[in-house]
Amino acid sequence: MTSFTTFYLSGIIGKEVFGADGDAVGIIRDILINASLSGDDNDHGRQLLTGVKLKIKKDIKTYSFHTFRVTKARETLNVTSSALVVLKKEEVENGMFLVENILDKQIVDLNGRKLVRVNDVRLVTIETGTFAIAVDIGIEGLLRRIGLSAPIKRILSLFNVNIPAEFIIWDDVQAIDYSNLNIRLSKSYAKLQTLHPSDIADILEDLGKKSSMSVFSALDEEKAADVLEELEPHTQVHIIESLPVEKAADVLEKMPADEVADILDELEDEKAESLLKEMDTESSQEVIELLEYPDNLVGSLMSTDYLSFSLGITVEEVIRELRFRKPEPPELYNMFVTDKNDELIGTFNLRDLVVADPKSFISDIMKEEPVFLYDDQKLQDIAEVVSKYNLLAVPVVDRNEQLQGMVVVDDVVEDLITERKTRKRNRLY
């Protein structure tokens, strides 16, 4: 049977270390682990302890943990060291101190998709080394820190009451409140990027401004754009104003034009203008055109990301185009057929495509004389049309009946719930 010793970070910090001769060597101030909390260095949900920050008289240095041994006798921890080997600077820089960067800090519980605070860290010594295996986020960890865990558990046991344990294993942990780890942000946040944008947005909302910017900056542009869409307006403004103009423009270019217009609506005109100038011409022009619509008109709420096709192509060709373009789900709610002058002449949806003969033409499956809205109609007209015809997306045309965009029900509901103004009346240009 493999022997092991389990203990907690709170129990080892402040402990005196004894040498091979039995003399006191120094006092433990912190424990160093591998830098990566997620990735190839993670050994099946546990993190190897690599160093010990030791105070010897007035001198504090970090030594290799390889020469240290932790034993437990009747719940009393003993720490010994056969020799002191100072870790090289690069070894320390490639590690992470548990007290400094994890204990009492905010972390993301990847399994629970929420932000929590670490009260303690569970450690274990086995034949292959000593590892951090989980963080304690429960009340017991807090009581253990102040020395009340054992007596309170004894009292509660008289009433057959237990303190529920709350642990998160390393595989489900993503550290957030780091300090001095900027060079490793992209690697350390690798698991965080696997969460849904809505979950990341919720986490950012709970973080402080500094930490939220660190997390957001570490996301790739595609993920950052998706997350930015999910954030509350005040957080969107904070992030966009905090990012360099070039970085902010790159992220905004990945977003739908109507969403960008919403964000720019909340910014000072000078900031909005600088972002529009930095964005590529096509993207910025779409946004500017949307910003010109008054708040109370349909055009202010429409999306310019839509799919339109000509009469002369087949169902098979449309499906091939969809596979190539990989559109967002709302773009598939309703697809449009236009003539050479971009006038709207028909609509069809994804079901129409799936059940149709691949060789048939779009003209054979489209609905002629489609329901639409004019871009200069009042916003209240949207609800009437959506309700009457049970549509998920309504095409929007100008007075020449040229297709301009579409209104998606999701956007209408969000606008009603948040009671946000969607556009501003004043033109930027």
Q: Divide the 429 residues of the chain into consecutive groups of 10 and give the mean pLDDT of each group.
A: 79 92 93 64 68 93 93 86 92 88 82 81 89 88 79 78 78 60 47 81 82 82 91 90 93 92 90 93 91 89 92 94 91 93 94 94 93 93 88 93 90 60 42
Give per-residue pLDDT as tens, 263-307.
998 899 899 999 999 999 999 999 999 999 988 899 988 999 999
pLDDT at position 416, please? 56
- Please name which of 120, 113, 114 lies closest in space to residue 149, comparing C-alpha atoms: 120
Give 159: exposed, middle or buried? Use CB within 10 Å, 0-12, 13-18, 19+: exposed
| Residue 322 C-alpha from the chain's centroid | 28
pLDDT at position 104, please? 87
pLDDT at position 174, please? 67
CA distances from 315 to 3, 311, 351, 360, 397 (A): 66, 10, 12, 6, 24
Angle value at C-alpha 26, between 22 and 32, nearest 5 degrees: 115
Give per-residue pLDDT as tens, 161-170.
777 778 888 7
Hey, what are 107's tokens?
């972390």
CB 207 within 8 A of CB 215: yes
Give per-residue pLDDT as tens, 366-413.
999 999 999 999 988 998 898 888 888 999 999 999 999 999 887 776
The Cα–Cα gap between 389 and 376 comes to 20
CB 29 within 8 A of CB 63: no
CB 53 within 8 A of CB 31: yes
The Cα–Cα gap between 240 and 264 comes to 9
CA distances from 365 to 311, 350, 361 (A): 10, 11, 7
The Cα–Cα gap between 170 and 186 comes to 18
pLDDT at position 287, please? 93
User: Which DSSP helix (H) or strand (E) runs through 387?
Assistant: helix 380-389
**What does the CA dihedral 141, 144, 150, 154 come to, rounded to 10 degrees?**
-40
- Please name which of 183, 185, 255, 250 lies closest in space to residue 217, comparing C-alpha atoms: 185
pLDDT at position 414, please? 64
The Cα–Cα gap between 19 and 78 comes to 11
User: Which DSSP helix (H) or strand (E) runs through 150?
Assistant: helix 149-157
The Cα–Cα gap between 2 and 70 comes to 16
Hey, what are 173's tokens?
């942990």
Class of domain 308-418: alpha beta
Q: Say which residue the tokens 């992209």 belong to.
A: 186
The Cα–Cα gap between 409 and 330 comes to 9
Which residue ranges does the chain devote to CATH 3.10.580.10?
A: 308-418
pTM of the model: 0.63
pLDDT at position 423, please? 43
Which residue ranges does the chain devote to CATH 1.25.60.10?
A: 189-291
pLDDT at position 413, please? 67
The Cα–Cα gap between 46 and 314 comes to 55
The Cα–Cα gap between 253 and 305 comes to 13
At residue 18, φ and ψ (nearest 5 deg) are: -115, 145
CATH of domain 189-291: 1.25.60.10
Based on its alpha-carbon atoms, the radius of gyration of the chain, rounded to whole angstroms, reads 29
